[in-house]
């Protein structure tokens, strides 16, 4: 929990970009771009947030992921994203089977997303398999993914419509789309958010969760979202601006609150590109600059933050937050977290962690 409120990170990754799993220079370029983002957005002058490229970053260790997210951090639940990228990695960058295995370690805390390439001849069968056999509860779509000579696809291509319809038949309603920065060697234009407009209108039963809020095409995202109440803004990557570029982040938040309102904005950190602790701490302390608030007529109140850090995404996945918190009380990660806090001899957990690191809620 964060400040006594349910917290759910809607965008995390459990990837394998190890040298053994990397097929070619494109796979190397992809993970190197992630690491450049890591270094470029980390809080200036706080080296405790820098990960080692070879031992931590290239291949995510399951114990480290779980400890960082649920013991060292404040999230109660998290969503595991998927990017298959079979042209770059032997078993995929993040494949559904790998996600399913991690969910077994914390089934009440983790939700896994499947990943389908709609150009695959067995795409429909894969939807069935990933939902029925692997327990995927949503899908992550990566429209710039390479497949042979193809350099991507569009969310409004009719070839994808049968997949949306199969998801509806199976009761899977949450469609997560990467619509944000390009990662080398993928093309930025293939992540253009405007292709969400048509399917979000055709399939009102589905929720279209746009990761990275369409950046750098924020205006396009906001305009299409204003008329599609089933389109949601996931803050991953955008949130990373909160520390070093707070005014830019303030403009992003003001636009989202103005166009979408507080019920359609979702917290996500993109861990392990960045540690979740500093992003959550900075977000909870953040206020939109007064002149921007006045211009847009919006306010980022504590009540709005509560919705963003957990309430909104919990609603989309049918999670009763009070009941879930009771279920999590006393589980392995809750016990370890309480033990960690108890070892820090100060009056409150937040003060304790702040005295250790200078960042509230984050132990060394």
Name residue, tokens 């779980």.
66
Q: What is the mean pLDDT of the chain?
A: 93
pLDDT tens for residues 226-255?
999 999 999 999 999 999 999 999 999 999
Question: E strand or H helix at 40, and its extent?
Answer: helix 25-41
Are 194 and 162 spatial neighbours (Cβ–Cβ below 8 Å)?
no
Are 325 and 334 spatial neighbours (Cβ–Cβ below 8 Å)?
no
Domain spanning 8-329: CATH superfamily: Metal-dependent hydrolases (3.20.20.140)
Contacts of 81 (CB under 8 A, 6+ apart): 11, 12, 13, 94, 113, 140, 176, 211
Q: How sure is the predictor about 346, in pLDDT bands with cuts at 50, 70 and 90?
A: low
What is the per-residue DSSP string for 159-211?
GGHHHHHHHHHTT--EEEEE-S---TTS-GGGG-GGGGHHHHHH-TTSEEEEE
Q: For 199-203, 240-244, 254-258, 359-363, which range has the lowest pLDDT when averaged over its residues?
A: 359-363
pLDDT tens for residues 105-157?
999 999 999 999 999 999 999 999 999 999 999 999 999 898 988 899 999 99
Confidence at residue 359, expressed as pLDDT on a 0 to 100 scale: 39
Delimit the domains of the chain by residue range: 8-329, 330-364
Total Cβ atoms within 10 A of residue 263: 14
* Residue 18 CA, distance from chain mean position: 21
Are 207 and 176 spatial neighbours (Cβ–Cβ below 8 Å)?
no
Indicate the SS3 state at residue 234.
strand
Confidence at residue 189, expressed as pLDDT on a 0 to 100 scale: 86
């Amino acid at each position: 929990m964060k400040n006594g409120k349910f917290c759910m990170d809607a965008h995390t990754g459990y990837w394998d970009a190890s040298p053994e799993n990397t097929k070619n220079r494109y796979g190397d370029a992809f993970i190197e771009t992630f690491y450049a983002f890591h270094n470029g957005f980390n809080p200036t002058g706080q080296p405790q947030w820098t990960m080692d490229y070879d031992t931590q970053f290239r291949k995510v260790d399951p114990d480290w992921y779980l400890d960082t997210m649920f013991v060292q951090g404040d999230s109660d639940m998290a969503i595991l994203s998927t990017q298959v990228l079979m042209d770059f990695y032997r078993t995929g960058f993040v494949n559904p089977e790998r996600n399913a295995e991690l969910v077994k370690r914390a089934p009440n805390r983790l939700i896994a997303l499947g990943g389908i390439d709609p150009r695959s001849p067995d795409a429909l069968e894969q939807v069935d398999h990933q939902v029925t056999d692997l327990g995927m509860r949503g899908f992550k779509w990566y429209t710039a993914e390479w497949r042979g000579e193809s350099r991507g696809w569009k969310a409004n291509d009719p070839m994808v419509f049968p997949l949306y319809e199969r998801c509806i038949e199976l009761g899977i309603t949450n469609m997560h789309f990467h619509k944000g920065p390009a990662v080398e060697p993928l093309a930025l234009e293939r992540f253009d958010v405007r292709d969400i407009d048509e399917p979000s209108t055709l399939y009102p039963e589905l929720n279209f969760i746009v990761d990275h809020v369409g950046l750098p095409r924020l205006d396009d995202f906001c305009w299409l979202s204003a008329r599609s109440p089933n389109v949601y803004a996931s803050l991953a990557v955008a949130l990373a601006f909160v520390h070093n570029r707070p005014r830019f982040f303030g403009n992003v938040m003001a636009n989202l609150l103005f166009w979408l309102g507080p019920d359609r904005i979702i917290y996500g950190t993109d861990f392990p590109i960045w540690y979740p602790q500093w992003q959550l701490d900075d977000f909870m302390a953040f206020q939109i600059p007064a002149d921007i608030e006045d211009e847009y007529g919006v306010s980022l109140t504590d009540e709005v933050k509560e919705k963003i850090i957990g309430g909104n995404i919990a609603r989309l996945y049918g999670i009763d937050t009070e009941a879930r918190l009771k279920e999590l009380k006393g589980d392995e990660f809750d016990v370890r977290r309480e033990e960690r806090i108890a070892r820090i001899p100060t009056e409150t957990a937040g003060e304790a962690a702040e005295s250790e690191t200078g960042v509230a809620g984050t132990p060394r």
